[in-house]
């Protein structure tokens, strides 16, 4: 890894505990960070224990008090410097990302730019935390609303976007005047640590942003949910873990943002533009090797366009290049671990046993390890695992349908509600389907919806809270109503 970097100091085998870099945790345990493509050990990091979590929370408390008093303009300028550091070091950050997570370097570069855009956006939004004045209910009263930072925030992130998930959480937290104690996934802590180094260089004050990789995620969750100093938790991960954290946070009525699992429907109606729909399916399904929470999980295609769609999609899926993320032309890297591979083949076997047809792929990749063949199935039905569970792998199951009513019912028949996509041109149908889909985000004639300018988040068991857009700041602010009397 180091040989590939322009600036080798961006990789540190340390954790950042309340402004102090530390090579040794009190528990003495360590985390080996692996390259999922080669299984080489990239780094050996100290694992944070309870003492480090508490020290970070205490430092965050002190740092946050000072940070909240810094003017919004000054905070915004420091964040602008942070953004510029990220942009200036984008190539190294992308290399670190591909090394620890496996995604193709081109996608890693995209993720770094995408993550940076949140730092830029929220740095600007820092200056726009407006309140309200409200006409009084009595002649001598004046009513105001002011917004204040919630205080110390904890964050827990997954491995699938090791860099962008950090940016999406720390940017609104820092912009709104909060401090943040961040736990990256143990599989991918190096990207978060590299961002912390750049934050430090940009002048983000010590203690405001801690990074604590740990082999004991449960301990971290329990501490931040019970420690009275921590006022909010922002979590991205599985619905199962989200449920645990919500129950733990209930003890202190904790403010939460939860971005949980998805099971995105991707619907193609007869009047869709075929090429656009195929392109959208490729982006939505196979980006990040299918390992995103907004990836199309179920592809519903109306009977009139079905065979042509499957044929075109098959050509595109066959052309995907399963390669190490650093090899040129790579479009699908390795999956994150053996469990992910087992889940994928469990879904394929279940579907085939219940009558689905393998159109492309379906087998192990010749490279071995966690490299898998991108797979296209036709003849999928609602009794299959692919209809109910998030596959999180490059598997595209195609379901045939006839009517609009039928597909809306199928699309909504899940406990999840994160992203949905559909391709259609009849304007009335477009509105009807948009309104009927029980999802937090809907892509119409596009397979790619994520941007810092829009509110990202779900409904139902996909969670609540929004990341990005003017709404994203609200998750880190408390509203205070002020009633001034005797005027
Ligand atoms: P994934 O399937 O993407 O790994 P998880 O929900 O298991 O989803 O993990 C997302 C994040 O949640 C990771 O950082 C992981 O370490 C953390 N995590 C897992 N279990 C717990 C827990 N009981 N308490 C707090 N954090 C947890």
pLDDT at 423 over 90: yes
Residues 90, 109: Cα–Cα separation, whole Å: 7
**H or E segment to which residue 356 belongs:** none
The alpha-helical segments, DSSP class H, found in 70-216 are 72-88, 90-101, 105-125, 164-175, 190-202
The per-residue pLDDT for range 39-74, each reduced to its tens digit, is 999 999 999 999 999 999 999 999 999 999 999 999
pLDDT at 106 over 90: yes
pLDDT band at 476 (very low <50, low <70, confident <90, very high): very high
**How many C-beta atoms surround the C-beta of residue 254 within 10 A?**
18
Given this model, what pLDDT does residue 432 score? Answer: 97
Residue nearest to atom 27 of ligand 1 (CA): 217
> What is the Å distance from ligand 1's center to 175 Cα?
26
Predicted model pTM: 0.98
Ligand 1 atom closest to the CA of 156, numbered from 1: 14
Place of tokens 């600036």: 7
> What is the Å distance from ligand 1's center to 158 Cα?
7
pLDDT band at 376 (very low <50, low <70, confident <90, very high): very high
The reply to whether 125 belongs to the active site is no
Residues 363, 361: Cα–Cα separation, whole Å: 6
Average pLDDT over residues 111-118: 98
CA torsion angle 441 447 453 456 (round to 10): 30
pLDDT at 312 over 90: yes
Given this model, what pLDDT does residue 364 score? Answer: 86
pLDDT at 105 over 90: yes
Average pLDDT over residues 23-49: 96
Paired with 405 in beta bridges are none
CA torsion angle 335 336 342 348 (round to 10): -30
Residue ranges around ligand 1 (CB below 6 Å): 156-158, 183, 185-186, 217-218, 220-221, 237-238, 241, 244-245
The per-residue pLDDT for range 387-408, each reduced to its tens digit, is 999 999 999 999 999 999 999 9
Rounded to two decimals, the ipTM of the complex is 0.98
State which of 156, 221, 242 you would mutate to test the pocket of ligand 1, scoring each by most atoms of that ligand within 8 A of its C-beta.
156
Residues 407, 323: Cα–Cα separation, whole Å: 36
Interhelix angle 105-125/72-88, rounded to 10 degrees, is: 170
Ligand 1 atom closest to the CA of 159, numbered from 1: 3
Express as a percent the part of the chain with pLDDT over 90: 99
User: Encoding tokens for residue 178?
Assistant: 């909060």
Place of tokens 């080996």: 32
Average pLDDT over residues 123-146: 97
Residues 6+ apart with CB under 8 A from 337: 36, 187, 370
User: Encoding tokens for residue 151?
Assistant: 């205080």
């Amino acid at each position: 890894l180091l040989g590939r970097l322009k600036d080798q100091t961006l990789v540190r085998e340390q954790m950042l505990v309340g402004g102090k870099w530390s090579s040794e945790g009190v528990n003495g345990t360590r985390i080996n960070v692996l390259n999922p493509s080669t299984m080489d050990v990239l780094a050996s990091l100290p694992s944070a224990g309870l003492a480090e979590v508490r020290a970070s929370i205490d430092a965050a408390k002190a740092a946050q008090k000072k940070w909240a008093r810094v003017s919004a303009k000054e905070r915004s300028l420091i964040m602008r410097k942070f953004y510029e550091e990220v942009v200036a070091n984008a190539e190294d950050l992308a290399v670190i990302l591909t090394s620890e997570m496996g995604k193709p370097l081109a996608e890693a570069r995209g993720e770094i730019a995408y993550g940076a855009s949140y730092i830029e956006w929220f740095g600007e939004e820092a200056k726009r935390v407006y309140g309200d004045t409200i006409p009084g209910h009595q002649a001598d009263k004046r009513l105001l609303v002011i917004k204040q930072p919630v205080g110390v925030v904890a964050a827990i992130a997954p491995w699938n976007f090791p860099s962008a998930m950090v940016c999406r959480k720390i940017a609104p937290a820092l912009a709104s005047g909060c401090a943040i104690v961040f736990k990256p996934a143990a599989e991918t802590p190096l990207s978060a640590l590299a961002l912390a180094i750049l934050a430090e260089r940009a002048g983000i004050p010590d203690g405001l942003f801690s990074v604590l990789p740990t082999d004991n995620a449960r301990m971290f969750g329990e501490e931040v949910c019970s420690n009275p100093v921590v006022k909010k938790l922002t979590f991205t991960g599985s619905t199962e873990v989200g449920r645990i954290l919500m129950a733990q946070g209930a003890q202190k009525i904790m403010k939460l943002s939860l971005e949980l699992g998805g099971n995105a429907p991707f619907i193609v109606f007869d009047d869709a533009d075929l090429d656009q729909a195929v392109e959208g399916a490729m982006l939505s399904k196979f980006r990040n090797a299918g390992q995103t929470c907004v990836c199309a999980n179920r592809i519903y295609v109306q009977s009139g366009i079905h065979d042509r769609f499957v044929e075109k999609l098959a050509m595109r899926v066959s052309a995907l290049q399963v390669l190490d993320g650093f090899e040129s032309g790579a479009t699908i890297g390795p999956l994150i671990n053996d469990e992910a591979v087992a889940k994928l083949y469990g879904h394929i076997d279940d579907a085939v046993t219940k009558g689905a047809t393998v159109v492309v792929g379906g087998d192990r990749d010749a490279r071995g390890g966690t490299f898998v063949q991108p797979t296209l199935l036709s003849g999928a039905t609602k009794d299959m695992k692919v209809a109910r569970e998030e596959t999180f792998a490059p598997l595209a199951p195609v379901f045939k349908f006839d009517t609009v009513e039928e597909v809306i019912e199928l699309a909504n028949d899940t406990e999840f509600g994160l992203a949905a996509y559909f391709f259609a041109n009849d304007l009335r149908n477009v509105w009807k389907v948009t309104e009927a889909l029980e999802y937090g985000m809907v892509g119409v004639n596009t397979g790619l919806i994520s941007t810092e300018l829009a509110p990202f988040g779900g409904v139902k068991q996909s969670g609540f809270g929004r990341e990005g857009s003017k709404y994203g700041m609200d998750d880190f602010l408390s509203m205070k109503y002020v009633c001034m009397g005797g005027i």
